[in-house]
Chains A and B, each alone.
Chain A
């Protein structure tokens, strides 16, 4: 299972990478592997506000539906059109294929997220 070092991770298995005040959000390798083949994403609109820990959309595999939760509070600045058309990209590379970008309100919220090492330990305990 992969968890790149430069990302932050939430307990609901989203990752976030920060580039100039913008958070790029996707789901982790562990999440895509647990879900199995992703067939549909229920995605929000650009400009929609999101709150840390609350649902902003859903990701669905053949077998199950799972909530997508915002790792930070802010406003959605972009939704990835590629994964809307080709949801299985998430399985192919969950770190290259991001889901949304968020204009982050308060970057200190990132401190409560996990780094790669703690996240891997967290997944180990969950398994």
Chain B
């Protein structure tokens, strides 16, 4: 089993550890729900060093990214979310692409997919450098309403920046990449650096009382509540991202990009199933793999489900077949061979209230 550079810190802080994508990662330090609420109301920090970072640099890098990445390209010092698709429109992975220079990019991918992504990219002609940096780069996500103040106090730098932009900064004399991104539905940052530097950064975070160490448990409940899909759950290698509700991250005008033509063809035929929100109408919890029914017809399957204390009833994300996807559709969930009434509801289940603009 692999570990991240922060493994010993997790053990010292009393984390409960779990296997995730071949890494021994913290599940939680205190409780999943307490960590969840810490991120919503204060700040939480997560070790996400297991994520993959792939460098794409040199002549033709921009053209290469255009060829493989579904979304519009990020400008300098911007990051963009999108997908890498195969020619048949099926996802290799969902990724963040960072533009560090005119012809220099990072592709940040899921830990479980690093090898697959590298193989996919290596099969596409490119004259520049393609390099997996995952083993040497560590990453910490600092999320929540107090994230900016805490980060500024540590790095002694103004971190006011737009969402999906980043800064290359210096911390203890070494380079640190600070990105205003995250996977929690809350404001926050993702911070990348060499392993030893990230260990120092982690220790600095641990000195803040209002910053909670958070594990993968809360990371999952937070991203679930915010409606972010997770590869292997809401994004599957055998369903196009259109079924996963990710069309807004696809530039359909770039038909030379891998997979776009297949997506356009699928649109003409119509989608078979899409991700929807589901809520039980009674007690119980629906979890990944549980079946959804209308009468005797199995119309869908739960991809992620939770009953958090602030939910009256359990909620889930689920793939549901047409035509049962409309909000308000009455369905049933099968829990331990018993049927429980449920309904299709809108998602995301949580959206941060945007600051209202003052009308003149």
Most chain B C-beta atoms within 10 Å of own C-beta, residue among A39, A40, A42 = A39
- Chain A residues 42 to 59 lying within 8 A of chain B, measured CB to CB, are 42, 58
- Chain B residues 274 to 319 lying within 8 A of chain A, measured CB to CB, are 283-285, 287, 306-309, 314
CA distance A62 to B221 in the complex (A): 9
Question: Does A78 sit at the interface, judged by CB under 8 A?
Answer: no
Asked if B32 and A65 sit within 8 Å, CB to CB, the answer is no
Asked if B32 and A42 sit within 8 Å, CB to CB, the answer is no
Which residues of the partner chain A approach B307 to less than 8 Å between Cβ atoms? 39-40, 60, 62
Q: Of B28, B217, B309, B336, which one neighbours A39 at CB under 8 angstroms?
A: B309
Q: How large is the interface on A (under 10, 10 to 19, 20 to 34, 35 or more residues)?
A: 10 to 19
Asked if B336 and A58 sit within 8 Å, CB to CB, the answer is yes
Which residues of the partner chain B approach A60 to less than 8 Å between Cβ atoms? 285, 307
Shortest distance between the CB of B81 and any CB in chain A (Å): 26
Which residues of the partner chain A approach B33 to less than 8 Å between Cβ atoms? 37, 62
Which residues of the partner chain A approach B217 to less than 8 Å between Cβ atoms? 36, 62-63
Which residues of the partner chain A approach B287 to less than 8 Å between Cβ atoms? 65
Interchain pairs with CB closer than 8 A, number: 37
Which residues of the partner chain B approach A37 to less than 8 Å between Cβ atoms? 31-33
Asked if B31 and A65 sit within 8 Å, CB to CB, the answer is no
Known: A63-B217, A65-B287. A36 touches B336 (CB 8 A): no
Question: Does B27 sit at the interface, judged by CB under 8 A?
Answer: yes
Q: How large is the interface on B (under 10, 10 to 19, 20 to 34, 35 or more residues)?
A: 10 to 19
CA distance A39 to B286 in the complex (A): 13
Which residues of the partner chain B approach A58 to less than 8 Å between Cβ atoms? 336
CA distance A40 to B309 in the complex (A): 10
CA distance A60 to B335 in the complex (A): 12
Shortest distance between the CB of B352 and any CB in chain A (Å): 21
CA distance A40 to B28 in the complex (A): 19
- Chain A residues 21 to 39 lying within 8 A of chain B, measured CB to CB, are 36-37, 39
Shortest distance between the CB of B47 and any CB in chain A (Å): 18
Q: Of A40, A42, A63, A65, which one neighbours B27 at CB under 8 angstroms?
A: A63
Contact pattern, A 51-83, Cβ under 8 Å of B = 1, otherwise 0: 000000010101101000000000000000000
Asked if A65 and B285 sit within 8 Å, CB to CB, the answer is yes
Asked if A62 and B284 sit within 8 Å, CB to CB, the answer is no
Shortest distance between the CB of B9 and any CB in chain A (Å): 21
Which residues of the partner chain B approach A65 to less than 8 Å between Cβ atoms? 285, 287
Shortest distance between the CB of B237 and any CB in chain A (Å): 25
CA distance A39 to B335 in the complex (A): 16
Question: Does B261 sit at the interface, judged by CB under 8 A?
Answer: no
Asked if B309 and A42 sit within 8 Å, CB to CB, the answer is no
Which residues of the partner chain A approach B284 to less than 8 Å between Cβ atoms? 40, 42
Known: A39-B307, A40-B307. A62 touches B283 (CB 8 A): no
Shortest distance between the CB of B221 and any CB in chain A (Å): 7
Which residues of the partner chain A approach B31 to less than 8 Å between Cβ atoms? 36-37, 62
Shortest distance between the CB of B338 and any CB in chain A (Å): 9
Name 13 extra pairs, CB < 8 A, besides A37-B31, A62-B308: A36-B27, A36-B32, A40-B307, A40-B314, A42-B284, A42-B335, A60-B307, A62-B31, A62-B32, A62-B306, A63-B27, A63-B32, A65-B285
A residues at B contact (CB < 8 Å): 36-37, 39-40, 42, 58, 60, 62-63, 65
Residue contacts A-B, CB under 8 angstroms, 17 given: A36-B28, A36-B31, A36-B32, A37-B33, A39-B285, A39-B307, A39-B308, A40-B284, A40-B285, A40-B307, A42-B284, A42-B336, A62-B221, A62-B307, A62-B308, A65-B285, A65-B287
